[in-house]
Structure 1
Amino acid sequence: MCFYNQKRFACGDFAWTNFAHRCNYEYRTGETCGIRLVNSTDVDANKCRICEKIETKYRRRSAEVERLDRWKREGSTLVASMDRSRKMIWELDQEIVQLQREREDRRNNIGR
């Protein structure tokens, strides 16, 4: 039960930061017991790395959707570009789902 500092992000996620102090259960010099306890928590106003990536993907997706809608509205003959845009939207949706799954897995594995 060694103590570490923790950083809590605005999205609710957290990250371990630096080592604070060693517990009494580990007798070897420089070693930790492997069980992490919170020494102090610093609040960070930013979102975690995964949430920032998800927001970036959502912004890119909305830009592609707007571009595709504009092309449809104008009656554009850029069929290849429209197909490429649809494919990009689908790929962004897949990446967003994967990042959301990664975020949930990370939150569910806190106690393990």
Structure 2
Amino acid sequence: MCYFDCKRWRCGFWKWDSFRQQCHKEYRMGETCGQKLIYHTELLDQQCRLCDQMEKKNRRLRKMWADMERWRAEGNRRATVEKTERDYRDVAAQISQLQYEHGRRLTQIDY
């Protein structure tokens, strides 16, 4: 079992980092046995990449929603509202996919 550093963000998302120490089972220089153990975990007090993307998309959804409400009140922008509703559904689906990936990574054991 070879040792690697690990990065862990405040939301719980993590990823393997650099190789640290070779185990005694692997005799070839520069090779690893395939099993990973954590040598050191670096705790990062910031958002992970997926949380950052979800936050940006949520801001975009709020802006779309406010625009649609304003356009509906004006009453003369039906095509614009319909297009924005389609875009809204697309962005919501993207957020759902990002949440799935994030949740999967939180519970995944990666060897």
Please indicate, yes or no, whether the TM-score normalized by the shorter chain is above 0.5: yes
Equivalent-residue separation in structure 2 for 1:108 and 1:45 (angstroms): 20
For residue 97 of structure 2, what is the aligned residue in structure 1? 98
Counterpart of 2:98 in structure 1: which amino acid? L
**Aligned counterparts, 1:59-98, within 5 A:** 59-73=59-73, 75-98=74-97
* TM-score, structure 2 normalization: 0.91
Counterpart of 2:75 in structure 1: which amino acid? S
Equivalent-residue separation in structure 1 for 2:42 and 2:107 (angstroms): 22
For residue 2 of structure 2, what is the aligned residue in structure 1? 2
Counterpart of 1:84 in structure 2: which amino acid? K
Give unmatched runs, 5+ long, in structure 2: none
Matched position secondary structure for 2:41? strand
Residue correspondences, number = 111
Give unmatched runs, 5+ long, in structure 1: none
Equivalent-residue separation in structure 2 for 1:5 and 1:108 (angstroms): 18
Cα displacement string for residues 22-49 of structure 1 (whole angstroms, at most 9, x for unaligned residues): 1111111111011111111111112111
* TM-score, structure 1 normalization: 0.91
Matched position secondary structure for 2:76? coil
Counterpart of 1:96 in structure 2: which amino acid? I
Counterpart of 1:56 in structure 2: which amino acid? K
* CA contact 2:12–2:106 (8 Å) conserved in 1: no
Cα displacement string for residues 39-66 of structure 1 (whole angstroms, at most 9, x for unaligned residues): 1111111211111111111111111001
For residue 12 of structure 2, what is the aligned residue in structure 1? 12
Equivalent-residue separation in structure 2 for 1:67 and 1:76 (angstroms): 12
Equivalent-residue separation in structure 2 for 1:43 and 1:106 (angstroms): 16
For residue 37 of structure 1, what is the aligned residue in structure 2? 37
Residue 111 of structure 1 and its aligned partner are, at CA, apart by 5.2
Matched position secondary structure for 2:30? coil
Matched position secondary structure for 2:46? coil
Superposition RMSD in Å: 1.4
Equivalent-residue separation in structure 2 for 1:108 and 1:40 (angstroms): 19
Equivalent-residue separation in structure 1 for 2:5 and 2:15 (angstroms): 9
